[in-house]
A and B are shown apart, each in its own frame.
Chain A
Amino acid sequence: QQQVRQSPQSLTVWEGGTTVLTCSYEDSTFNYFPWYQQFPGEGPALLISILSVSDKKEDGRFTTFFNKREKKLSLHIIDSQPGDSATYFCAARHTNAYKVIFGKGTHLHVLP
């Protein structure tokens, strides 16, 4: 059973544009939502995370939004750069849980 769904599977944007990745989850007990960024040949690395008590968290060009009622998250990248080309994983867990549940990822290509 897939508990975290990401869309789109793949996305291409032009340099300077805004990228929007979306994620939905099923388990209402999830209260912590990290996003991981993975470059080819490397392991995933934490990009940004948000707790369910917040509806927005910003870090430079990256902002994550959380909608508890709809059980949805999104990751916005403004002024997208070719160096942002990577796979992005949405994830979820309860803060008391040992396991993080990952989505299947979105492949982002930013064209110069």
Chain B
Amino acid sequence: EAAVTQSPRNKVAVTGGKVTLSCNQTNNHNNMYWYRQDTGHGLRLIHYSYGAGSTEKGDIPDGYKASRPSQENFSLILELATPSQTSVYFCASGGYPPSNSDYTFGSGTRLLVI
């Protein structure tokens, strides 16, 4: 069954430390996305990718980097984690426009930065 798998499921990090969130998809989708979800803000796009080797800035990219080494994998990197980055992070994959294939989301990573 096609799916989007995120790891870890939960993460506690210290301020100033490096955090890597991983995402793997078996949907054979070209596009992948990283969102964060916070109360009152809904889903906000951090970075996205059109395919292996590409990364693009979303609406709130500051403090985050992304890496897309292959079609299946897309990572979100926090080089110097801050408490303001405490959130729930979702990865999604999507088909290539102009198809109407919709996003498939992972189950999320809950990150606490202390």
Contacts and interface: CB of A to CB of B under 8 A. Distances in A.
A104 interface: yes
B103 A46 contact: yes
What DSSP secondary structure best describes chain A's contact surface?
Answer: loop
B108 A42 contact: yes
From B40, B42, B58, B92, name the one whose CB has the most chain A CB atoms within 10 angstroms.
B42
Interface in A75-110: 89, 95-100, 102-105
A6 B17 CA distance: 37
A43 B98 contact: no
Contacts of A36: 103, 105
A47 B50 CA distance: 25
Contact of A98 (B97, B106, B107): B97
Interface residues of A, number: 22
Contact of A95 (B50, B90, B97, B103): B97
B26 to A, nearest CB: 15
Contacts, number: 54
Instruction: Categorize the interface residue count of chain B.
Output: 20 to 34
Interface in B15-51: 31, 33, 40-43, 45, 48, 50
From A45, A46, A95, A100, name the one whose CB has the most chain B CB atoms within 10 angstroms.
A100
Contact of A43 (B45, B102, B108): B108
Contacts of B84: none
Interface in B76-114: 90, 92, 94, 97-100, 102-103, 105-108
A89 B42 contact: yes
A43 B40 contact: no
B48 A98 contact: yes
19 contacts: A34-B103, A36-B103, A41-B107, A43-B4, A43-B105, A44-B105, A45-B105, A46-B103, A89-B42, A95-B98, A95-B100, A96-B97, A96-B98, A98-B31, A98-B97, A99-B33, A100-B103, A102-B43, A104-B41
